[in-house]
Homo-oligomer: A and B are copies of this chain.
């Protein structure tokens, strides 16, 4: 008999069907056995009556067994219906069960409500805990973040390219880079596709990429990962950094809309509410933001080179109170505090046209206008004391005519964490890599020879 997905059983009342999936729960009531079966489309309750040919097999089966089940879809009596759960108005009367794969007894409770692991144990058993609805909800939302980023970019005529992971030299960062033994030479894992997306922009105008970036940050905070999915965009022929701001705002708005459309169930399960993005997100310079914080709290951060974490929280609170917006753009950072490619404000070159999008007290996205004039770029390279040979390919793109341009980037894991209100970014990475863990703990790993 052809397989029916569990999610489609509601339309099959009265029919004989075959479902295939896992046993989430078995309740042996002596004469009868009840099951919760699940597949990728959902869950359904099954019952094996005493007279069923499947009753002996039903007694053998344990949680997480993989089964092929035949039976009849019955409407439940009115009093047994549960409108709050999927298929709460039907029940599968089981006539036949084939065991497709057995499962050993579970090392912990995997039920919806009983599941309660600390993060370390959860990660130690990622291969199993991924089956839990709460974890599935996290990664379903993350898949939508990534996919709707691509969808929006394509709708705006951005071209997708593949940024490289292995790079020859570290243009930007210092110590926080992973070294690769590359044949008999050395190379590095990319920290950002920044220079590559600017190169490709000079050929395709509007480009985006979804690629891994790597940060060797020797810290075990709740916010750091060694391997991150970076969502990057770059666009040519802008009139000012505000075009980049607008495109990034539309991107985030589109992602939030897609999540709202598709994931009400997942948000509810995780107890998460989407942040509020009003029609026009408040946007202010760093200086203005610092004035606001001073006026509100008396804490004088005016003239600081950047917002510190406390400033970011305070600013978001002020903006929320004033406008109901959970988001706020801050632009205009001290030029020399930021990378060489960020465009200085022509009216006041001490400050640049870089920007950050903050939400709920933390940075979600960064971007801004870039220097596109080749001579100015060479001046910056000299001022920033960089070796132009190490970025020769990047400089070549600008030597031969590069339009006014800018772009933005954000990390999929951090956005997932922030949208869902997760406490640790590791919860938002399916296989998180950090200082101490690559799947398992690294304690026993040998040192490199």
Contacts and interface: CB of A to CB of B under 8 A. Distances in A.
Interface string A197-225: 00110111110000110101010000000
A438 interface: yes
Given A128-B396, A146-B160, A160-B146, A100 B404 contact: yes
Contacts of A278: none
Interface residues of A, number: 98
A262 interface: no
Contacts of A446: 185-186
A260 B432 CA distance: 39
Interface in A123-169: 125-128, 130-131, 135-136, 139-140, 142-143, 146-147, 150, 154, 157, 159-168
Interface centre among A102, A165, A227 (most CB of B within 10 A): A165
A127 B396 contact: yes
B438 A183 contact: no
A189 interface: yes
A131 B202 contact: yes
Contact of A403 (B100, B104, B448): B100
- Copies of this chain, complex-wide, total 2
B206 A64 contact: no
Interface stretch (A87-95, A173-181, A342-350, A351-359): A173-181
B202 A127 contact: yes
Nearest to A226: B166
A165 B438 CA distance: 10
Contacts of A237: 3, 20, 39, 100
Contacts of A269: none
B440 A168 contact: yes
A449 B227 CA distance: 24
Interface centre among A102, A142, A229, A373 (most CB of B within 10 A): A102
A139 B372 CA distance: 24
Given A20-B237, A140-B159, A178-B182, 6 more contacts: A65-B401, A162-B412, A165-B212, A166-B214, A186-B445, A211-B212
Interface of A: 3, 20, 22-23, 39-40, 64-66, 100-104, 106, 125-128, 130-131, 135-136, 139-140, 142-143, 146-147, 150, 154, 157, 159-168, 178-187, 189, 196, 199-200, 202-206, 211-212, 214, 216, 218, 226-227, 229, 237, 372-374, 392-394, 396-397, 399-404, 412, 430-431, 433, 435, 438-440, 442, 445-449
